[in-house]
Amino acid sequence: MFQEQTEAINLSLSMTIYFKLFAEDEFLIKLGAISHDEDGNLRPTAAGILMFGNEHEIVRIFPHYFLDYQEHFDPGIRWTDRFISSSGEWSGNLLDFFFKAYSKMIQNPSIKTPFKLEGMRSCH
């Protein structure tokens, strides 16, 4: 598990270094999170709202948006762990969902998966 956490930290650091190469607006444009509208003003894109927005902002644009992470380890229990985008306890966006789910997967040795996670990529 230490290796996975180290690789996640290294990825975060490399993204931070990449981010520092550009002005904030330029970086967000390169990510596709913002773009210029017809008047030349910077506005968030659908991708930017989904990745970085808050759940209440996302559902105004995407009314059926709902993320649901569930762990099922005991057949007698509906689910053993769960978090959803509409709980209000976290942002509910895709980026935070990814990191919450990834953290659950690497910290729980009882998750049986057909692949092994190394950093942010799967190794079969």
pLDDT in tens, 15-54: 666 666 777 788 889 889 999 999 999 999 999 999 999 9
pTM of this prediction?
Answer: 0.69
In-domain check, residue 118: no
Structure confidence at residue 103 (pLDDT): 85
Is 120 within a domain? no
Classify residue 11: in a domain, yes or no: yes
Q: Confidence class of residue 1 from pLDDT cuts 50, 70 and 90?
A: very low
Residue 79 placed within a domain? yes
Does residue 123 form part of some domain?
no
Q: Is 102 inside a domain boundary?
A: yes
- On whether residue 84 sits in a domain, the answer given is yes
Number of domains composing the chain: 1
pLDDT category, 72, cuts 50, 70, 90? Answer: confident
What is the C-alpha to C-alpha distance for residues 54 and 58, in angstroms, rounded to an integer? Answer: 6
Instruction: State which residues form the domain around 95.
Output: 2-113
pLDDT higher than 60, residue 82:
yes
